[in-house]
Amino acid sequence: MATVTLSKPEVKQTECFIDGKWLPAASGKTFQTINPATEEVIAEVAEGDAEDIDLAVKSARSAFESGPWKNMDARDRGRLLYKLADRIEQDLDELAALESLDNGKPISDAKAADLPLVVDCLRYYAGYADKIHGQTVPIRGNYFCYTRKEPVGVVGQIIPWNFPMLMTAWKWGPALAAGCTIVMKPAEQTPLTCLRMAQLAKEVGFPDGVINVVPGYGPTAGGSIVKHRGIDKVAFTGEHLTAQIIMKEAADSLKRLTFELGGKSPNIVFADSDIDLAAEKAHFGLYFNQGQCCCAGSRVFVEESIREEFVEKVAKLNEHRKLGDPLDPQTDQGPQVDQNQFDKIMKYIDIGQQEGANMVTGGKRHGDKGYFVEPTLFDQVTDDMKIATDEIFGPVMSVLSFDNYQDLVERANNTFYGLAAAVWTRDIAKAHNLANELRAGTVWVNCYDVFDAAAPFGGFKMSGMGRELGEEGLKPYVETKTVTVSLG
Ligand code: ADP
């Protein structure tokens, strides 16, 4: 078989981006970002901490309170967002390769999913910039009362490593459309594309200080964002345990908070569904992005009469899944993002076997280099098993059986998470009834992982607070001001 030589993308930005300049960390420290497919160091990146965050906040505050950003017409803010979207689209191949290198996701996924969604999200919010307006209010008396929608101020944005560019776009889009300024910390595992996006934003003309990016670790750089008095709001995506720390630490300054957190999403397959399609999409809904999705369909409830047939179909798809170099366009599945995630997933695979679930496929490391985990499928999983209750964040599917609708609803909702759910049936009334009863922020019917910049996304219960995307995603970046003018 011919070997394909795949060209590696060039790493251009590795420092802190503060006030429109590239700066080393004040401490001079750096950390390594690792290629998860080879375990080799890709680059040394500036390790920002409190001092760098403070500098970034001062820059963001000054850009918010004076200068070209404050005085820019809303429509021109929108034009800058359109330009950034165009520039990203122009550099799509290069950015997809960089994302794939740093995160380990297959380049075909980065090109077909992540990047187009990034461009779409920025364009969606670009169109909103000049459509954020208040109302006139008919209060009692001889007054003219109206509301203004003003930007919330300087926002701190902390993102995870599973969709680095997309999470950047979900955060920047609404914040910039609303007129806020930004201090962002990308995840320590995957800082490269966010830094590249900052450079592109500079090149298309975003004024200095509007976007600042400080790479670094969670408790230090992230913690400094959360505690800083000069930040008005924090938007965070990551684990609920981190969100709990953030909520406590943000209490002192009563920051506005939005959270998009984890899940253990039920994917429910009825006997009257299109079983081939349900199996194909259940496979996609769990193994996509190496299972590293907050909304992964990780609890697959299958009606008992079709369970064996369904499991066979998913097993066949798993066996055909091609694991390998993420930069190879033929690859379906890359490595997990790092050693920690790899170890955690392997531990859960052991636990599943000890708990007595039936492991139908996978279970092992793939190859001897890189953090690859075989697509793993457990059948005959019961509700109390840890593989059915804990978020594994890896390529591990648990199939649970059901035969009673009412029990099913209770079991599907019996989790402290509530991010997403899916239902597979040809019975439209059953689909809608279940969509109403499931306690989740998103319910997909006869589809999975359908995302659109216009459709709000976020969690019930401990899966989040507030929504991203759509008109709802804009609201946390806006304050309402009431102005009352005496006409007497
Ligand atoms: P994951 O398990 O997906 O890495 P985390 O919640 O640990 O999820 O991380 C998501 C983001 O939150 C990362 O950018 C990380 O550096 C940051 N982070 C982790 N701990 C803290 C913290 N104590 N304060 C602020 N940010 C944090």
Residue 222 CB less than 6 A away from ligand 1: yes
User: Which pLDDT value is given to residue 4?
Assistant: 52
Distance 6 CA to ligand 1 centre (A): 32
Residue nearest atom 21 of ligand 1, based on CA coordinates: 218
Rounded to whole angstroms, the Cα distance separating 442 from 456 reads 8
Query: Does ligand 1 come within 6 angstroms of the Cβ of 242?
Result: yes
- The answer to whether the beta carbons of residues 101 and 334 sit under 8 Å apart is no
Q: Looking at residue 6, what is its pLDDT?
A: 60
Q: Is 473 in the pocket of ligand 1 (CB under 6 A)?
A: no
Establish whether residue 160 lines the binding site of ligand 1, counting it when its CB lies within 6 angstroms of any ligand atom.
yes
Buried b (16+ CB within 10 A) or exposed e, 235-258: bbbbbbebbeebbebbeeeebbbb
295: annotated active-site residue: no
Q: Note down pLDDT in tens along the chain; length 488 residues.
A: 444 546 789 999 999 999 999 999 999 999 999 999 999 999 999 999 999 999 999 999 999 999 899 999 999 999 999 999 999 999 999 999 999 999 999 999 999 999 999 999 999 999 999 999 999 999 999 999 999 999 999 999 999 999 999 999 999 999 999 999 999 999 999 999 999 999 999 999 999 999 999 999 999 999 999 999 999 999 999 999 999 999 999 999 999 999 999 999 999 999 999 999 999 999 999 999 999 999 999 999 999 999 999 999 999 999 999 999 999 999 999 999 999 999 999 999 999 999 999 999 999 999 999 999 999 999 999 999 999 999 999 999 999 999 999 999 999 999 999 999 999 999 999 999 999 999 999 999 999 999 999 999 999 999 999 999 999 999 999 999 999 999 99
H helix intervals, 205-338: 223-227, 240-250, 275-287, 307-320
The closest of 144, 146, 219, 157 to 186, measured between CA atoms, is 157
- What is residue 407's DSSP assignment? H
Query: What's the confidence (pLDDT) of residue 67?
Result: 83
Report the separation in Å between the CA atom of 215 and the middle of ligand 1, taken as the mean of its atom positions. Answer: 12
How far CA 436 is from CA of 261, 281, 394, 444, in Å, comes to 22, 22, 29, 12
pTM for the model stands at 0.98
**Is the shortest distance between the CB of 212 and ligand 1 below 6 Å?**
no
Question: CB within 8 A of 266, min separation 6: which ones?
Answer: 297, 299, 300, 301, 411, 412, 415, 421, 422, 438, 440
Looking from the CA of residue 245, the nearest atom of ligand 1 is 23
Of 242, 235, 241, 293, the closest CA to residue 264 belongs to 293
CA atoms within 13 A on the CB side of 181: 29
Q: Which neighbouring-strand residues pair with 143?
A: 486
Give me the sign of the Cα torsion angle 242, 245, 248, 251. negative
Find the catalytic residue in 260, 374, 391, 468. 260
C-alpha of residue 187 to centroid of ligand 1, in Å: 7
Residue 260 known to be catalytic: yes
